[in-house]
Amino acid sequence: MSAFAFTQLFVFFLLLTFIVRFWLAFRQWHTIRNHCDHVPEQFAQNISLSAHRKAAAYTMAKTRFSLVSLTVDTIVLLGFTLFGGLQYLAEFILAHTGNNIIYEIALIAVVSIITGLIDLPLDYYRQFVIEEKFGFNKMTLSLFVGDIARNTAIGVIIGLPVLWILLAVMEKAGTLWWLYAWFLWCAFQFLMLFLYPSFIAPLFNQFSPLADENLRQRIEQLLQRVGFQAKGLFIMDGSKRSSHGNAYFTGFGAAKRVVFFDTLVERLTPEEIEAVLAHELGHFRLKHVTKRIIFTSLASLAFLALLGYLKNESWFYAGLGINPDLASNAIALILFVLTLPVFTFFLSPLMAMNSRKHEFEADAFSAKYTDARDLASALVKMYQDNASTLTPDPLHSAFYDSHPPASLRINRLLEHS
């Protein structure tokens, strides 16, 4: 492939993705606006018109903001590639460090810092304007800054050594470097499954053992019926950042933990909490988590193999605005990470469809071990508390939503009751 042909291909996919995402957002905004004055009949007894309108306004605000983020991301991508930003940074850092691994790590670090600084005002607006306006923000400015500092420290302590190892493998492991890098990446991912619950997550939140004895007994009985072992049941202080509620599992093997947001425990009844947990257990018992890990690992292998091919092709660099004489492992990594979403966006519906299939299966699993009506009522409360729209645009949902639309999900559950 020639550099010019690749440039044309890149620009075509970039514009197509940009236009389609704008069109999907436009559809979502208008669909929600057109239904904001009428609560769907199946929810009319549980969700008020004011709550429905709040969910519509919240979703429309997030949709409008997503277009701003999309525009900024597109400009940044073009700035780094065809407009010469990465070329300039590479030449500048190379002149001050020499062509060595320090140069490559510094280049990746500088690009990461620049993109982080560009995203910072967007993150601030999302948290302190949109979330604040609709009553979800509980985060203080000091906590916001503290989170940035903690994430930066983790990136330095963990990310830099991993990056150094990856660059060393790319440099010294020959043509099959991508295969060795994949083995190392898989090992790192599994290591993080063990380390995250005990060492990283507590840096951001407090995890307290579940104190409600009746609820604990109910949950332990459910775990026993399902045949699931967990290291502990914990309440997380999610309310210090947001009033949104959730529950999840973390860890792997013997290190698995069940974690509830404090906001969720305060809002749901014990029966509803049990039903929500049964849904999450369904993901494990039905091997959804294992399948996701296998798929992610295989996808990583495929992408690393593709990078292994592209990093040796001069048209890959020249087509994205980089002088091939500057070609390096670091530049190949940066270009690949920046441009991959442009070429994979249209795979989103397939990923979302598979995720929604798993959600339906986990709902059915919950209905097998608990009362389906309890999960249905819990979901209604969660939709209301999180201001989730009940009337999304079907096509927008097909691209972006990992969970089925509320009406379909509730209807399926009630069929099991």
Q: Tokens 């440099």 label which residue?
A: 171
R_g (Cα) of the chain, nearest Å: 24
Does the annotation list 283 as a binding residue? yes
Per the DSSP assignment, residues forming a β-bridge with 260 are 235, 247
Query: What one-letter code names the amino acid at 87?
Result: Q
Active-site residue flag, 325: no
Q: Which two tokens stand for residue 255?
A: 């290190």
| Cβ atoms within 10 Å, residue 416 | 15
Residues 132, 135, 140, CA angle at the centre, nearest 5°?
Answer: 50
Angle separating helix axes 3-35 and 49-80, nearest 10 degrees: 170
Nearest to 323 by CA among 87, 10, 85: 87
Does the annotation list 288 as a binding residue? no
Active-site residue flag, 280: yes
Contact 264, 242 (CB under 8 A): no
Nearest to 178 by CA among 190, 166, 164, 188: 166
Contact 216, 258 (CB under 8 A): no
Please give the backbone phi and psi of residue 247, each rounded to the nearest 5 degrees, phi first.
Answer: -145, 150
Judged by DSSP in three states, 137 sits in: strand
d(CA 268, CA 246): 11
Pairing, β 232-236 against β 257-261: parallel
d(CA 114, CA 112): 5
DSSP structural state of residue 236: E
Nearest to 94 by CA among 332, 313, 338, 327: 327
d(CA 104, CA 417): 59
**Sheet containing strand 247-250, strands side by side:** 207-209, 232-236, 257-261, 247-250
The set of residues, in sequence order, having a beta carbon less than 8 Å from that of 277 and lying 6+ positions away, is 219, 222, 247, 258
Residue 132 CA, distance from chain mean position: 22
d(CA 237, CA 265): 11
**Which candidate in 363, 371, 374, 393 is catalytic?**
363
**Which candidate in 104, 272, 274, 280 is catalytic?**
280
Contact 243, 127 (CB under 8 A): no
Please state the residue numbers annotated as binding site for Zn(2+). Answer: 279, 283, 359
The annotation places the binding site at: 279, 283, 359
